[in-house]
Structure 1
């Protein structure tokens, strides 16, 4: 497995716990239906309880505790189980002998990607990206509707689900340096495209003016 931390060392992620023979199954098949279910169950349940809390219960405390329990269960499940099974990624924190904290981002090596199902990958990333966006929307709706008592709950939703999103994006694309390089390359390509487009427009105008004469 590939470990992406401050030292960029290589480390085993699964410790040979997965049988490589499973890679022979179809990539479109959902090989971990239970993990796929719970990947969406806890986070969607938290959102539904938040939306329907006034219909489900008149107690704010009961709804708040229920949402926090769902968010906590979702954070632990996605961080420790579904990411490892569904897409072969894992992030975690460790403290070395000197007491220094290190964030570690791990992913399967390229020759093991055949173990990842395309269907599971789509389910994983869809749930991972969409739900934090919904909680960000809830922050604005809470402020605009003056439901300040819910602000702490929706912020917790953004923090817990956003942490998993950030961790798995780091696992997927690499270290922080790689993230910066990707951003730099993207904006560089956009700049070159815009420049080439303007140059082509200028040449076309020149040819048009030359044709008139």
Structure 2
């Protein structure tokens, strides 16, 4: 004789704990969010690298592999006409501001993930940081010239700024 109201033998479908169901939904939500964010980051990287930079500031960069299998990075800068209008200057400022601010946000996200101990999001945040820094590095190399050494350029800029500060006449009250 079967007893359906017995608490010892749960009926079909009643053997799952509702807490377990919520955990699995949270995990599948995390995976979905992670995939969506990585796809959007990839689209953003591609758009900035291949469209925005070329149209707004006349710069582009890419990697090509020769017949020997050697990887070569190419950095190009389009020569701008002297009659730049105000919109292209504004577009350029917006482009560079976004290119510099985005990695700063991703660095903030890295620190907040580490300090909040939500380590499962670290892969997504590092992916965003790497893609943003790659675009920033590529466009800075295009702007200053692909063959120039960025470290040497930074040192010369700093030395010029220090020299200007030293040569500045002190103000008298």
TM band (smaller chain): 0.7 to 0.9
Matched, 1:93 2:63: yes
Q: Secondary structure at the match of 1:165?
A: helix
Matched, 1:130 2:87: no
Out of 64, 67, 72, the residue aligned to residue 34 of structure 2 is 64
1:90-143 Cα offsets, whole Å, 9 max, x none, are 000111222211000001124478388112112211211111110011000111
Matches within 5 A, 1:162-177: 162-175=133-146, 177=148
Using the TM superposition, give the Cα deviation of residue 182 of structure 1 relative to its aligned residue in structure 2, in angstroms.
2.3
Between 108-117 and 118-127, report the one with greater CA deviation.
108-117
Where does residue 91 of structure 2 map in the other structure?
Answer: 120
Between 164-173 and 183-192, report the one with greater CA deviation.
183-192
RMSD: 2.4
Where does residue 151 of structure 2 map in the other structure?
Answer: 180
Name the TM-score, length of structure 2 as normaliser: 0.73
Matched, 1:80 2:50: yes
Between 188-197 and 147-156, report the one with greater CA deviation.
188-197
2:74–2:146 Cα contact (<8 Å) kept: no
Unaligned runs of 5+ in 2: 1-24
- Cα pair distance change 1:87/1:142, threshold 3 Å: same
Q: Secondary structure at the match of 1:92?
A: strand
The structure with the larger Rg is: 2
Equivalent-residue separation in structure 2 for 1:176 and 1:139 (angstroms): 32
Number of equivalent positions: 144
Name the TM-score, length of structure 1 as normaliser: 0.60
Using the TM superposition, give the Cα deviation of residue 192 of structure 1 relative to its aligned residue in structure 2, in angstroms.
2.4
Unaligned runs of 5+ in 1: 1-56, 205-213
Q: Secondary structure at the match of 2:148?
A: helix
Using the TM superposition, give the Cα deviation of residue 186 of structure 1 relative to its aligned residue in structure 2, in angstroms.
1.9
- Greater fraction helix: 1
Matches within 5 A, 1:131-170: 131-170=102-141
- Cα pair distance change 1:113/1:100, threshold 3 Å: farther
Using the TM superposition, give the Cα deviation of residue 188 of structure 1 relative to its aligned residue in structure 2, in angstroms.
1.5
Where does residue 5 of structure 1 map in the other structure?
Answer: none
